[in-house]
Structure 1
Amino acid sequence: MIEDMGSTQKTLELKMAAGMVTSDNGVFVTSFSGVHEVDTNLGIVRHNIVSSPLFNALHSISRTQRGYLVASTGLDLLLEFNRSGEILWSWWATDHGFELTPDGQPRVLDKLADYRSIQYGTRAQTTHINSAAELPDGRFLASLFHQGMVIAIDRETGEWQPVLEGLDHPHAVRVLDARHFTVADTVRGRALLVTINKLGAQVEADIDTGTNWLQDCRYDSDRNCWILVDGKNSRVVLRHGRSGNKKLAEFNFDPEWRLYETHVL
């Protein structure tokens, strides 16, 4: 945790921590097979507040109108759940046209199995879906790593359509409002602010972050700044304004930490 522009830092050891989102009693943090809850001072950890047999290599997590949405990346799966662990909605990429891995191998998954202790390599996955967020109209946006695109998914039918294509291993799709989202064009090191409507999407701002692995990006409209996670150089950079043309601060961390994303308290 970074406070006072870096003058104060706290750490908490949590194996394979990845996605973060505000919860009822602090912050939910995903790990490989469970969702933990920490207080905002990093003093208390409640392990496995939510766990499911379908949790496998959890990545990003976000709030929805009904609960929480998490990418169970190892299974090419999105899951919406509530605090009690009830699964409210699911979307299996293998059921919606993404049956083959990058090596052309068909993927078949047993939906009744317990996957919490099974590990799959990235190339054993058909999409490596790693982040998702709900639009105000009820659709879900999701980033597909292998396909290099952001898609919009209909909650009722599960049907999807491409929203933004031609990305290089994207991560970190975040909905700002009914008309805007951000996403990391990871390998190109570009943080994108995108306008979306019924007809498609258009890039409104394109920030060159100076890295070849932009793990996470978010535009904080309240503070009018970008928060950028440079996974290659293990640093977090703050840049001012939508254009991101002025660096405000830079925080460097242990390369062994393998930074995934940030969360603003």
Structure 2
Amino acid sequence: MTSTAGLTVHELGDAAAAGTLLLLHGLTDSGLCWPDAVRRWGSSYRLFAADLRGHGTSPRFTRAQLQADPGDVLLADTLALVQDAVELTGSPVVLVGHSMGGGLAGAAAALRPDLVRAAVLEEPAWGIRRDEAEVRRLAVERTAWVQEFRDDLAGAMAKGRVENPTWPVVELDPWARSKQQADSAFLAHGVAWPSTPWDELARRIAVPTLVVTGDREVIVDEPTRADITALANPHLEVAVVPGAGHCVRRDRADEFHGLVDPWLAKVAS
């Protein structure tokens, strides 16, 4: 698929399949960071996996975009990706997003229900507020972490394997290499989610949406889950995978897919 926003989009899966999934990765990942999911979904769905701006081989952020609001630029890119996929396939798509990509998928589902059939949000960037001091702190930490992969890829990958022993082996190489490709200026900026508060967007979602989180150092923690429940949006369903952290589909792959895949089968066709 050729993206009107100029982004790299990897076409995977079965091009003749009736259902289409648009995969939106997390911060510092890329469109190639879904190998285990692609292995499981590829025979059933047409898959588009985008390198979001500032990631993979997609364009970097311009200085003007960083000064304006990179989160809103990412959202505009996402809406363009959804439009492109629908025009190509002729029908609404299912969005699957992780972390930053999960927040963007949720926003797109809220803003364009005519183009989005359903959404799976794996640990979306919900519950995060734009506290300037916290944003700066996270930006410094993230920049230093990514530099480890640029300085010693093999060493960083080995460390990742030790720290994440339950991850499918196929996930480690693209996960590590994507860190070398991340836009340093964007990471230093620190803001990776739209300016509209997450709960305003979540309240507007009117398509089936499954939020998947874990119970170990997660973004969608118990207080955030309570906030989601308080929205009283009947289109939102929250599921917790025990033993999983922020990367649910990697930490507990079989449990994640045991939950998500039957749900997708009901909504994607």
TM-score calculated relative to the size of structure 2? 0.28
- Per chain length, whose mean CA-contact separation is higher, i.e. which structure has more relative contact order (CA < 8 Å, sep 6+)? 2
Higher helix proportion, which one?
Answer: 2
